[in-house]
């Protein structure tokens, strides 16, 4: 058996890796239709896990958007400060050059 087969494919008795909240809810409906509630507690926990992940992702997206706005405002402030400090600067050698040339 190839290493790819072991690590990248689910076992024969398991469903696909990419399971969604909708598939868990569909399995809950199947439990209700057959009146077999033995698997329901595990499915409830799995649905809760998927819901928590979705909420966490929404929070992360919200945090990212607020940080992006903060970054843009700080970038504007930096650009404004750079424009203020772009006055011509004298080098140290200019005052001494005139002093040396007067001799």
Question: Read out DSSP for the chain?
Answer: --HHHHHHS--TTS--S---HHHHHHHHHHHHHHT--TTHHHHHHHHHHHHHHHHHHHHHHHHHHHHHHHHHHHHHHHHHHHHHT-S----THHHHHHHHHT-
Whether residue 70 lies inside any domain: the answer is: yes
In a domain, 101, yes or no: no
Judged against a pLDDT cut of 60, whether residue 5 lies above it is answered with no
In a domain, 97, yes or no: no
Q: What pLDDT score does 86 carry?
A: 73
User: How do residues 46-101 score in pLDDT, each as one tens digit?
Assistant: 999 999 999 999 999 999 989 999 999 999 999 988 888 876 555 555 655 555 56
Check residues 4 and 93 and name the one with the higher pLDDT: 93
Q: With 60 as the cut, is the pLDDT of residue 36 above it?
A: yes
Task: Indicate whether this model's pTM tops 0.85.
Answer: no
Q: Is residue 92 part of a domain?
A: no
Domain-embedded: residue 95: no
Asked if residue 99 is part of any domain, the answer here is no
Residue 66 within a domain = yes
Domain count, the chain: 1
- For residues 1 and 25, what is the distance between their CA atoms, to the nearest angstrom? 34
Domain membership of residue 72 (yes or no) is yes
Provide the residue range defining the domain that includes 26: 3-85
């Amino acid at each position: 058996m190839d290493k790819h087969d072991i690590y990248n494919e689910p076992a024969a008795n398991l469903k696909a890796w990419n399971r969604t909240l909708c598939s868990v809810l569909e399995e809950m409906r199947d439990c209700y239709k057959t009146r077999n509630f033995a698997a329901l507690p595990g499915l409830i926990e799995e649905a809760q896990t998927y819901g928590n992940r979705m909420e966490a992702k929404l929070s992360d997206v919200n945090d990212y958007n607020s940080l992006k706005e903060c970054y843009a405002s700080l970038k504007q402030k930096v650009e404004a400060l750079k424009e203020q400090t772009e006055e011509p600067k004298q080098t140290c050698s200019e005052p001494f050059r005139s002093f040396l040339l007067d001799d």
